[in-house]
Structure 1
Amino acid sequence: MPATFVVVPQWQGSVSSRAMSHADGATAILGDLPSSSTILVEVPTEAGESLGTGVLRYSTLLRVRNRTAEVLERVPDWALTIGGDCGASVAAVAHASTRSSGDLAVLWLDAHPDLNTPESSPSGGFGGMTLRAIVGDGADGLALDADTRVAPERLVLGGIRAIDDEERRFIDDHGVATLTVEDLSDPSVVIAALEATGASQVFVHVDLDVLDPSALAGLSYPMPFGIGAAELVALIRAVVARFPLAGAAIAGFAPATPDAAEDDLPTILRVVGALTSGTDGAATR
């Protein structure tokens, strides 16, 4: 079946000075998606309160998490979730884990591993805790439960270039597979790492800052020495050709202006097209 696009213009998980631009980025992508197979999740405009959790804007993040889960329950097959910040991927992975009966690997393509906890995070931003929540650690209501969480040995991190101390400890203690930007240029290396997890289905998360800033201007956390757009598209197509996708997500688009968003959309829509290349519903522009 073709993908259902679930657009979540969440910005509250980001602590970037361009945090609110994540909502603009999601809305810009929405304009180029097929309306008949796209659902928009309502995201409150208010920031929200931490409520003693150590997670900035926790109250709003929890509301959006629950609303996204409710929308995903209505999706008949697999969903491509469009953020917003990386926090939108938590509900998306939970949905994919349920669809795959837990037989799921997560390919996390990102400049950051997002493996902090509320206690270790230097900023309190949930975006930097997203993958840790996916393995089941974190604030109540945001971290996945025993039925949907993904074990660390089922994670494959690709293109990470900025790692905090706690994230490094978690990666080392759990032997999390970590691939360099150079590794991503050879899809066979990524596919081998995913095969080594033993999972039969994959969730692909793409934070657009895995790209080199020369490939995309609208990044809230631009990091040099990322992968090129053509290489990223080729990698995703190879993964989709090898594994059934249980779900996918794109996050991190934070255009400076509407005109700048238009300049970046062709590249982003190539990523959308690669993620949907295993279906007959690929978006094109």
Structure 2
Amino acid sequence: MRWDGSPAVALLGANQRQLRGWSGELADWGAQLGGWSGGLGGRSGGLAGWGGGLADRSGGLAGWGGGLAGWGGGLADRVAGVLVHAVPQWQGALWPGARDRLVTGCRVLAALAGEVLGTEVHEVPVAAAGSSTHAGSCAHVGSSTVDGIGNRQALIENRQAQLAALEAPEGRVLTIGGDCGVDLVPIGVARYRHGAGLAAVWFDAHADCNTAASSPSGAFHGMVLRSLLGDGDPDFAASPALEPGRAVLAGTRAFDPAERRAVADGLVRHVPVPADPDTLRRTVADTGAATVYLHLDLDVLDPAEFDGTHYQEPGGLTIGQLVAGIDSLSAFEITGAAITECAATEPADVLRLAPVLEAVGRLLRG
């Protein structure tokens, strides 16, 4: 049972309890969905071929009432604007105070992003349930650690609203987190829409390449990239997944043993600090990717540059180095971006990030 990146199919999980496993094997869905077999009713042509699996997606997404028609024709056909989705998810982090600081940080940074980019901010609702296992408190039923993943059920529930928000966007989306787990859905959807040629550039002090079996904490924000590569817990493993070698870590300097093996085995590539722009550009080009998604965890920055994060690692990037790295990706087709793990509590605390937001805006506007 795997999570599938298709918005329409994944959204059925909210209405069909038997789909809780989000199977990526679509061949048997006709039997599971009863009257839904043969496609999604009025969405003629778009999903009519799904009874035989993803390979039979005749017509692509063009039949979705026009909402997704621009995505089928490539990036050039899309509206040039940038949308900001604020996703104040905190359940992927298990440190004390995450509930308050990641939610506040998300909103503070999203407000600045809206101002810098000149666009409206849409807040995507997230579940209230969850707990910090380190704090030892559990505010709501259903927030316990299950099968090695903290706040498992809340994280699954949060996907529905993100999928709905991404179903028919009118431009490229900048997702503001929240914890790094907010990028499971946007990158999963991008992989579905753009195919195997998608690469993810992952600016992060940490590799986020654990599975539930290897994670020392059970915090999902340390597993999200590995999930996008199709590994780990079947309720979170993306299908279709990023191709091996088409995830590029940039500025990463803290690795758990399983994450070091992922780099050594070629599952992910690594451009260490200072994430030299030429080296980063060549590394991304070497993946053979046709399209790139940008993920940016603010802890990639040195704490002396920006201390509004929780898991701070010394020896990180300066803001200038990060901006240069982002700008180096302008050579590629960019499908979306995310900025995550902001734990700042006041608007003044994030003002120094304006050059980073400007760089991301340039990239998304092409």
Report the TM-score when normalising by structure 1. 0.90
Distance in structure 1 (CA, Å) of the matches to 2:342 and 2:245: 28
User: What's the CA shift string for 1:174-207, capped at 9, x where partnerless?
Assistant: 353111112x1x2111000000000021111000
1:164 aligns with 2:256: yes
- When residues 51 and 232 of structure 1 are mapped into structure 2, their CA distance, relative to the original with a 3 A threshold, is closer
* 1:144, distance to aligned residue in structure 2 (A): 1.0
Deviates more, 1:165-174 or 1:5-14: 165-174
User: Does 33-42 or 68-77 show the bigger shift?
Assistant: 33-42
Deviations along 1:239-268, one digit per CA (max 9) or x if unpaired, are: 1x211211111001012xx3xx32332233
Q: Which amino acid aligns with 1:7?
A: A
Larger mean CA deviation between 44-53 and 229-238 belongs to: 44-53
Q: CA deviation at 1:215?
A: 0.9
Letter in structure 2 aligned against 1:19: A
State the SS of the aligned residue for 1:101.
Answer: helix
Structure 1 residues 11 and 175: alpha-carbon distance in aligned structure 2, compared to 1, 3 A threshold: closer
Shift of 1:36: 5.3
- 1:174-189 mapped onto 2 (5 Å cutoff): 174=266, 176-182=268-274, 184=275, 186-189=276-279
Between structure 1 and structure 2, the one with the greater Rg is: 2
- What is the match of residue 31 of structure 1? 111
Structure 1: which amino acid aligns with 2:285? E
> Superposed, which structure 2 residues align to 1:127-206 within 5 Å?
127-146=221-240, 149-174=241-266, 176-182=268-274, 184=275, 186-206=276-296
Aligned with residue 12 of structure 1, among 91, 99, 102: 91
Cross-structure match for 2:352? 267
SS of residue matched to 2:86: strand
2:199 maps to what in 1? 105
Secondary structure at 1:198 match in 2: coil
Which residue does 1:226 correspond to in 2?
316
The equivalent residue for 1:248 is: 337
Deviation of 1:50 after TM superposition, in Å, equals: 4.3
**What is the TM-score normalised by the length of structure 2?**
0.70
Identity %: 35
Letter in 2 for 1:13: G
Q: Report the 3-state secondary structure (helix = DSSP H, G, I; strand = E; otherwise coil) of the residue aligned with 2:255.
A: coil
Structure 2 match to 1:22:
102
Is 1:82–2:169 an aligned residue pair?
no
Distance 2:363 2:205 in 1: 26
Q: C-alpha displacement at 1:210, in angstroms? A: 0.3
* Contact 1:136–1:145 (8 Å) recurs in 2: yes
- Range that drifts further, 226-235 or 187-196: 226-235
Tell me if the contact between 2:84 and 2:119 (Cα under 8 Å) persists in the aligned partners.
no
Alignment counterpart, residue 238 of structure 1, candidates 325, 328, 332: 328
* Structure-2 change in CA distance of 1:170 and 1:42 (3 Å): same
Task: String of CA shifts for 1:85-127, please: whole Å, max 9, x gaps.
Answer: 0000111101222332332111111010000111111100001
Q: AA paired with 1:91? A: V
Task: Specify the SS of the correspondent of 2:354.
Answer: helix
Q: Secondary structure at the match of 2:224?
A: helix
The Cα of 1:17 is off from its aligned counterpart by: 2.6
Kindly state the Cα deviation for residue 225 of structure 1 after the two structures are TM-superposed. Answer: 0.4
SS at match of 2:196: coil
In structure 1, the partner of 2:13 is none
Q: What amino acid is aligned across from residue 157 of structure 2 in structure 1?
A: R
Aligned length: 272
Of the candidates 82, 98, 104, which is equivalent to residue 3 of structure 1?
A: 82
- Cα distance, 1:162 vs. partner? 1.0
Q: Deviation digits for residues 207-238 of structure 1, max 9, x if unmatched?
A: 00000001112111011000001111121122
Distance 1:142 1:268 in 2: 31
Q: 2: distance between equivalents of 1:161 and 1:117?
A: 19
Give, in whole Å, the separation in 2 of the partners of 1:150 and 1:272.
Answer: 26
User: Mind listing any 5+ residue stretches in structure 2 that lack a counterpart?
Assistant: 1-79, 131-141
Q: Which amino acid aligns with 2:85?
A: V
Secondary structure at the counterpart of residue 175 of structure 2 = strand
Alpha-carbon distance between aligned partners in 1 of 2:196 and 2:326, rounded to the nearest angstrom: 22
Distance 1:280 1:246 in 2: 10
Q: Match for 2:320: what amino acid?
A: A
The farther-off stretch of 27-36 and 71-80 is 27-36
CA distance in 2 between partners of 1:95 and 1:216 (Å): 30
Cα distance in 2 between the residues matched to 1:136 and 1:51: 21
Query: For 1:280 and 1:175, how far apart are their aligned partners in 2?
Result: 30
